[in-house]
């Protein structure tokens, strides 16, 4: 019995320590949760080139600026210093997500209209960038599945040139004369000043003004018609025999109840209350009443194959002239084999297929034809059915125009 | 006599009818009918003074204020480019001439750079300006790898040396309407527009304009006090990391200088 009580005490102490530990850990997590850092990088620029200070170069005033960044620096030194001074405001993470789709070269997917296959075994709705796989199941269903989209960061810049006459011998660099079509007679535009620098001053500020003073009127409102009681009776008559001492006298059974309620109140006010089972007493158990909110039935035809197509590239960015290796992987994730598997990749304008760069582990029939984007439409057809769990990977190379 | 009178009456009635018809056709057209169609920039043109279009972009959306947009300027073989130091009114404070000028430029500011070693024009110096009017949004760590590429060619310098002015509007090409050829020094030829077209509007139709380069024959003033005006106040710029050492060298101390 003594041993069991000692064990019980040890269990209690360990459990209480764990409970306190968990509680303190929660508190510390809440208190020490790192504030969104930053900031400077994410706020100031979409990209995060963090160059050390000694690489910045500004001989005139030793100010620090970074390529691809705004005026706030992103290094740890500046972050610690500025955060202590409270200079850099917290970042807006949404700015990091900004991008321009024109800077990316995309390939894959099925951009509308959806691709369909006609009875003459040709496809309609194939847009540039589309990559799809067509197959037939054992039950004769014809399916078309689009791949994911691969995006390469490959901005390309071109220019428009205009040659105009200019004044000779003067200081004007602008055109001497230009005839323009009919347009606006005069537009007031803010012309730049002689010296253009960064200005941190506020150009415009909306200030909400509050109350300067408030005078409160607390005087009572004069009552003109005061009504007096018509009949006055002695309402204290019922309390004649009741004394203050009687009100506080408790009987014996009432004392027990008050004591019980006081103990219950003390127990109720404890933050953590550990309850244990001692010698056959059952611990309070929580019975959770759960019910099903929704029920979705996925009905797959037994014996039908399903193809999963995924597309990938070996790099995330490319300059004009770079070679990118694309891969297309199809896998039968269904319950039956599929036939007439045809993979079509309609290359976009800036992708040029490199001849004889095709690598495929399966027996396929390959052909390439010109498409509407002045590139090629690549087509692979598997000569044999694709069994359950089997996969085929096709690799080919394209040069970025 | 009566026939002549009748003929004159009919002729007068016909002329009046023609006059009414003509009046009707003129009143049916609006002045706006003669304006160019499409997505144009009616308020801003490439012929605006340097800095106007870029300053207007600063009032637009996105994190453009204070962003140093990487820019790379290339020219024909042998041509050297240099850039005045930021905020330094010293006329000799130029970076070392390089065949490829790489720097981060503030959007809205106007930078005047120095061009030397022009083929066929030894000793001739040009001082074009570049104005970044928009930025790119590259993924992380790719900003300096993919700067705005400005490719100048012999035709630019030959035209300028003939006394004319060249305005180039650089635009980010829309991949949906891209030119289906590999871009290199030979194929990267500009789209020529006439003197009566706005190159900014034309560039806006094919992509997103990001920079304006103006090449004229203006030379620095002889008075040092006018140099800040000539260099547009020496706006701040940032070097690329891998070129900071070479660009920080002084123009006069460069051992590779040919002149």
| CA separation for the pair B156, A25 (Å, rounded) | 69
Whether the CA torsion A196, A198, A200, A206 is positive or negative: it is positive
Does one domain contain both B68 and B10? no
In a domain, A108, yes or no: yes
Residue B82's beta-bridge partner residues? B114
Report which listed range, A72-81, A103-112, A255-264, is most confident. A103-112
If asked whether residues B55 and B124 sit together in one domain, one would say: yes
> Does residue B93 contact residue B253 with C-beta atoms inside 8 Å?
no
Identify any residues that bridge with A360 across adjacent strands, giving them in sequence order: A394
Q: Write the pLDDT tens digit of every residue in A24-75.
A: 333 333 333 333 332 222 323 333 333 333 333 333 333 333 455 443 333 3
Show the DSSP H helices in B49-153 as ranges: 52-58
Q: Is residue A18 part of a domain?
A: no
Q: Does A350 touch chain B (CB under 8 A)?
A: yes
Q: Which segment of A59-73, A117-131, A313-327, B198-212 scores lowest on mean pLDDT?
A: A59-73
pLDDT band at A225 (very low <50, low <70, confident <90, very high): low
Range of the domain at A115: 103-154+301-400
| Structure tokens that stand for B167 in this block | 């305005």
CB atoms A153 and B142 under 8 Å: yes
Which of B55, B62, B188 is nearest residue A192 as measured by Cβ atoms?
Answer: B55
The verdict on a CB contact (< 8 Å) between B233 and A155 is no
Q: Is residue A92 part of a domain?
A: yes
Q: Are residues A65 and A83 located together in one domain of the fold? A: yes
Both structure tokens of A336? 């039956």
Is residue B254 a part of any domain in this protein? no
Residues A126-134: what's their mean pLDDT?
Answer: 90
Report the domain count for chain A: 2
Searching chain B, which residue's CA lies closest to the CA of residue A64?
B238
The residue range of the domain holding B9 is 2-33
Q: Could you read off the pLDDT of B167-212 as tens digits, one per residue? A: 999 999 998 888 888 888 888 889 999 888 889 989 988 999 999 9
The answer to whether position A165 is within a domain reads no
Chain A contact present for B232, CB below 8 A: yes
The verdict on a CB contact (< 8 Å) between A174 and B46 is no
Percentage of chain A modeled with pLDDT above 90: 23
Q: Which residue has the higher pLDDT, A169 or B164?
A: B164
Angle ∠(A345,A346,A352) on CA atoms, nearest 5: 100
The pLDDT tens digits of the residues spanning B48-66 come to 888 888 888 888 888 888 8
B18 and B137 both lie in a single domain: no
Residue B182 lies in a domain: yes
Q: Parallel, antiparallel, or unpaired: how do β-strands B129-132 and B100-106 relate?
A: unpaired
Coil, strand or helix: which one is B179?
Answer: coil
Within a domain: residue B257?
no
CATH label of the domain that carries residue A378: 2.60.40
Q: Are residues A93 and A123 in the same domain?
A: no
Residue A243: predicted pLDDT: 57
Same domain membership, residue A396 and residue A309: yes
Please state the separation of Cα B227 from the chain's center in Å: 22
Indicate whether A87 and A113 sit together in one domain.
no
Q: Rounded to 5 degrees, what angle do the CA atoms B18, B21, B22 make?
A: 85
Shared domain for B202 and B151, answered yes or no, is yes
Return the DSSP state at B86: T
Q: Do A44 and B67 lie within an 8 Å CB cutoff? A: yes
Cα–Cα–Cα angle for A140, A142, A143, rounded to 5 degrees: 140
Q: Do A55 and B139 touch (CB under 8 A)?
A: no
Residue B103 contacts A where some CB pair is shorter than 8 Å: yes
Predicted pLDDT at A166: 61
Question: Is residue B169, in this structure, part of any structural domain at all?
Answer: yes
Q: Identify the band that residue A310 occupies on the pLDDT scale cut at 50, 70 and 90.
A: very high
B259 domain residue, yes or no: no
Say if residue B59 is in the same domain as residue B79.
yes
Residue A138 maps to a domain: yes
Q: What is the mean pLDDT of chain A?
A: 68
Residue B228 phi/psi, 5-degree rounding, is: -55, -35
Q: What is the DSSP string of B93-115?
A: -BPPPBSEEEEEEETT-EEE-EE
Residue B203, helix vs strand vs coil: helix
Q: Residue B141: inside a domain, yes or no?
A: yes
Do residues A109 and A93 share a domain? no
Residue B255 resides in a domain: no
A230 phi/psi in degrees, rounded to 5: -85, -40
Does the pLDDT at position A90 exceed 80?
no
Q: Answer yes or no: do B134 and B226 share one domain.
A: yes
B82 and B122 together in one domain: yes
User: For residue B199, which residues of chain A lie inside 8 Å, CB to CB?
Assistant: 160-162
A133 lies in some domain: yes
**CB–CB of B238 and A320 under 8 A?**
no
Under 8 Å between Cβ of B236 and A63: yes
Q: Cβ of A161 and B174 within 8 Å?
A: no
Q: Nearest CA to CA, how far is A121 from chain B (Å)?
A: 27
- 3-class state of residue B123 by DSSP: coil
Q: Which residues pair with B166 in a beta bridge?
A: A163, B215
* Residues B11, B77 within the same domain: no
Could you tell me if A386 lies within 8 Å of chain B, comparing CB atoms? no
Q: Report the alpha-carbon angle B178-B183-B188, nearest 5.
A: 90
Same domain, A334 and A371: yes
Q: Please indicate, yes or no, whether residues A70 and A150 belong to a single structural domain of this protein.
A: no
The verdict on A386 and A311 lying in the same domain is yes
- Does residue B47 share a domain with residue B26? no
Question: Is A219 a domain residue?
Answer: no
Q: Which of A68, A195, A352 sits opposite B233 (nearest CB)?
A: A195
Q: Are residues A321 and A393 in the same domain?
A: yes
B193 close contact with A: CB closer than 8 A: yes
DSSP H or E run through A77: helix A76-85
User: Is A342 within a domain?
Assistant: yes
Q: How far is A11 from chain B (nearest CA, A)?
A: 53
Residue of A nearest to B242 (CA): A55
Residue-level pLDDT at A381 = 93
Whether pLDDT at A285 is above 60: yes
Q: Which residue has the higher pLDDT, A313 or B3?
A: A313
pLDDT digits (tens, 9 = 90+) for A288-297: 667 777 778 7
Phi, psi of B73, rounded to the nearest 5 degrees: -115, 125
Domain limit, last residue, from A73, A97, A121: A97
Is B244 touching A (CB cutoff 8 A)?
A: yes
Average pLDDT over residues A162-190: 65
Distance, in Å, from the CA atom of A351 to the CA atom of A349, rounded to the nearest integer, reads 6
Same domain, A306 and A377: yes
Closest residue to B241, CB basis, from A55, A99, A100: A55
Residues lower than pLDDT 50 in chain B:
1-2, 7, 15, 17-27, 40-41, 243-259
Domain count, chain B: 2
Q: Are residues B6 and B27 in the same domain?
A: yes
Q: Are residues B244 and B127 in the same domain?
A: yes
In-domain check, residue B253: no
Please say if the pLDDT value at position A180 is more than 70.
Answer: no
- Interatomic CA distance for residues B94 and B257, integer angstroms: 13
Q: Do B83 and B45 fall within a single domain?
A: yes
Q: Is the pLDDT of residue A258 over 60?
A: yes
Read off the pLDDT band of A318 (50, 70, 90): very high
């Amino acid at each position: 019995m003594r041993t069991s009580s000692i064990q019980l005490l040890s269990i209690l102490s360990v459990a209480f320590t764990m409970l306190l530990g968990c509680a303190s850990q929660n508190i510390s997590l809440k208190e020490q949760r790192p504030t969104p850092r930053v900031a400077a990088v994410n706020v100031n620029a979409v990209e995060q080139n963090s160059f050390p200070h000694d690489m910045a170069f500004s001989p005139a005033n030793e100010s620090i600026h970074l390529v691809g960044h705004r005026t706030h620096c992103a290094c740890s030194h500046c972050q610690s210093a500025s955060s202590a001074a409270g200079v850099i405001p917290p970042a807006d993470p949404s700015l990091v997500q900004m991008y321009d789709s024109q800077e990316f070269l995309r390939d894959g997917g099925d951009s509308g209209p959806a691709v369909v296959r006609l009875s003459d075994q040709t496809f309609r709705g194939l847009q540039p960038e589309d990559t799809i796989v067509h197959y037939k199941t054992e039950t004769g269903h014809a399916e078309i599945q689009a791949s994911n989209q691969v995006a390469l960061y490959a901005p390309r810049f071109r220019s428009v040139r205009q040659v105009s006459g200019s004044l000779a011998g003067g200081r004007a660099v602008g055109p001497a004369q230009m005839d323009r079509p009919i347009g606006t007679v005069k537009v007031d535009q803010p012309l730049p000043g002689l010296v253009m620098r960064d200005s941190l001053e506020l150009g415009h500020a909306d200030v909400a003004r509050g109350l300067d003073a408030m005078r409160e009127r607390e005087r009572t409102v004069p009552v003109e018609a005061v009504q007096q009681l018509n009949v006055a009776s002695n309402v204290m008559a019922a309390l004649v025999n009741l004394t203050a001492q009687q009100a506080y006298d408790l009987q014996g059974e009432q004392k027990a109840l008050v004591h019980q309620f006081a103990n219950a109140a003390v127990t109720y006010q404890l933050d953590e209350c550990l309850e244990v089972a001692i010698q056959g007493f059952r611990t309070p158990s929580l019975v959770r009443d759960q019910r099903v909110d929704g029920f979705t039935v996925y009905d797959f035809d037994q014996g039908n194959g399903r193809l999963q197509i995924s597309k990938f590239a070996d790099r995330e960015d490319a300059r004009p002239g770079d070679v990118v290796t694309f891969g297309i992987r199809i896998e039968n994730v269904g319950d039956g084999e599929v036939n007439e598997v045809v993979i079509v990749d309609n290359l976009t304008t800036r992708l040029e297929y490199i001849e004889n760069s095709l690598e495929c582990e399966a027996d396929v029939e390959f052909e390439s034809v010109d498409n509407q984007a002045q590139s090629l439409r690549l087509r692979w057809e598997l000569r044999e059915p694709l069994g359950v769990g089997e996969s085929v990977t096709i690799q080919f190379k394209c040069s970025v125009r | 006599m009566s026939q002549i009178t009748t003929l004159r009456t009919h002729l007068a009635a016909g002329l009046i009818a023609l006059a009414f018809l003509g009046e009707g056709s003129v009143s049916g057209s609006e002045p706006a009918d003669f304006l160019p169609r499409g997505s144009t920039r009616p308020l801003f043109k490439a012929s605006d003074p340097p800095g106007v279009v870029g300053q207007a972009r600063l009032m637009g959306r996105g994190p453009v204020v204070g962003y140093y947009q990487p820019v790379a300027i290339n020219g024909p073989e042998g041509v050297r480019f240099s850039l005045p130091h930021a905020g330094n009114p010293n006329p000799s404070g130029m970076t070392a001439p390089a065949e490829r000028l790489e720097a981060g430029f503030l959007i809205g500011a106007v930078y005047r750079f120095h061009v030397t070693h022009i083929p066929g024009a030894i000793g001739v110096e040009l001082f074009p300006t570049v104005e970044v009017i928009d930025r790119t949004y590259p993924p992380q760590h790719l900003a300096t790898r993919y700067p705005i590429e400005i490719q100048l060619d012999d035709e630019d310098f030959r035209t300028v040396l003939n006394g004319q002015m060249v305005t180039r509007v650089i635009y980010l090409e829309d991949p949906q309407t891209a030119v289906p050829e590999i871009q290199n020094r030979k194929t990267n030829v500009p789209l020529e527009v006439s003197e009566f077209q706005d190159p900014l509007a034309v560039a806006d139709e094919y992509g997103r304009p990001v920079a304006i380069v103006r090449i004229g024959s203006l030379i620095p003033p002889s008075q040092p006090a006018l140099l800040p005006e000539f260099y547009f106040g020496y706006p701040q710029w940032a070097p690329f990391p891998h070129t900071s050492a070479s660009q920080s060298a002084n123009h006069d101390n460069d051992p590779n200088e040919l002149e």
